[in-house]
Copies of this chain bind each other. A is one copy, B any other.
Amino acid sequence: MKFKSVTIKDIAKALSISKSTVARAFKDASDVSPATKTRVLEYAEKIHYRPSPAALNLKQGQSLSIGVVVSEVANTFFSEAIDGIESVAFNKGYSVIITQSHESHQREKANVVELCNHSIEGLLISLSCLTSDLSYLKEWQQKGLPIVLFDKISDDIETHKVKFDNYKSAFEATEQLIVQGYQKICHITALPFVSITKERLNGYKAALEKYNLPFKEDWVVHCKHENTTEEVEQALKLLLNCDDGPDAIFTASERTTIATFCLLSMLQPHKTLGFAGFSNNDLFNSLASKEIIIRQPAYEIGKLATELLFDIIESDAPNKNFETKVLQAEVLNKKYGNVIKT
């Protein structure tokens, strides 16, 4: 199946003029006679001429597309972020190529290679939890690829970054559980290598400390990506069945929040555990109960990251003034009926 298209050559031949005249007719430069211009345009319309993107791309060295790497599209947070990314890119006339790392470092690297093989002009990436070695990204950057990190970022590379104030959000969520009267709060989170896990854990610890509550290593559960539900289930069974188990749970990622919440409603439908968690799932808005939900403005982070990316793409001088923007999340606490902008 071939996509055999008409070229300026065909038009030139049909109209017995030269290729360059045809080319000129398409730019509304003044150096073409109105007559030939009309002829070309009309004929082009008639035979459905489209300039070859590949040729343009080769000639002008720009592809009008940017690449995105996220762990999972089917994660409310990322799909909202992609919405924000797409909105900015669309306005610039750019297309967005989406890839998923599924939290695998190998896949992440492979995605970046593939994206570069599609001549992207810039890269937006949220690192996988397992990525600690950023040298591959630095290589691309040295070759001139503009890169912006968002959400899951790293200090090991110098470029624009956008993140949330994870520490603060985690602190506040934990604090609110404490204010609600919970004293024994456990923490279910993702693998500890990446920025956001650490920051949230620190926020949690700091809140405990502020209220002189003990920090128990056993009450921090790190879940791998693949079997989140199974791991959460095992952990919950262990935690909830022991004598001095926790009276509240604080979950630190979309996946663990959903998994924990669903499991809790099955395992302990009548027990009134305290619950706080990070999630962008809209349905939480309807649960008129005491859950504390941290909602991160994902659309905004996508939008902002993309704007920063275009700053790099459109600047001619190699930028050196990189900045790290920090966005604030919303903590929804139904019990007090308020939305706290943290």
Contact = CB atoms under 8 A, between A and B. Distances in A.
Interface of A: 1-5, 48, 50-55, 57-58, 61, 63-65, 72-76, 78-80, 82-83, 86, 90, 93, 95-100, 114-119, 121, 139, 143-146, 258, 261-266, 269, 281-288, 299, 312-316, 318-319
B50 A117 contact: yes
Contacts of A78: 79
Contacts of A116: 50, 53
7 contacts: A65-B97, A73-B79, A74-B82, A79-B79, A86-B99, A265-B286, A281-B282
A114 B99 contact: no
A209 to B, nearest CB: 32
Given A48-B139, A288-B266, A58 B55 contact: yes
Contacts of A80: 74
A2 B144 contact: yes
A144 B6 CA distance: 12
A313 to B, nearest CB: 6
Count identical subunits in the complex: 2
Contacts of A281: 281-283
Given A1-B313, A86-B99, 20 more contacts: A1-B314, A1-B315, A3-B143, A48-B143, A51-B117, A53-B118, A54-B57, A54-B119, A55-B58, A72-B83, A73-B82, A83-B100, A93-B114, A95-B97, A95-B114, A95-B118, A97-B97, A97-B98, A258-B283, A281-B283
Contacts of A258: 282-283
Given A144-B4, A283-B262, A100 B86 contact: yes
A2 B318 CA distance: 9
A322 to B, nearest CB: 13
Contacts of A100: 83, 86
Most chain B beta-carbon neighbours within 10 Å: one of A52, A139, A264:
A52
Given A1-B146, A86-B100, A144-B2, A63 B73 contact: no
Contacts of A58: 52, 54-55, 57-58
Contacts of A65: 97, 118
Given A4-B144, A73-B73, A143-B3, A288 B269 contact: yes
A95 B86 contact: no
Most buried by B among A50, A117, A139, A288: A117
A318 B55 CA distance: 25
A111 to B, nearest CB: 8
Question: Considering the complex of A and B, which 4 residue pairs feature the smallest CB-CB distances, nearest first?
Answer: A262-B286, A54-B57, A54-B58, A79-B79
Contacts of A50: 116-117
Nearest to A144: B3
A1 B310 CA distance: 10
Nearest to A264: B286
B63 A118 contact: yes
A94 B74 CA distance: 19
A95 B115 contact: yes
A73 to B, nearest CB: 5
A25 to B, nearest CB: 19
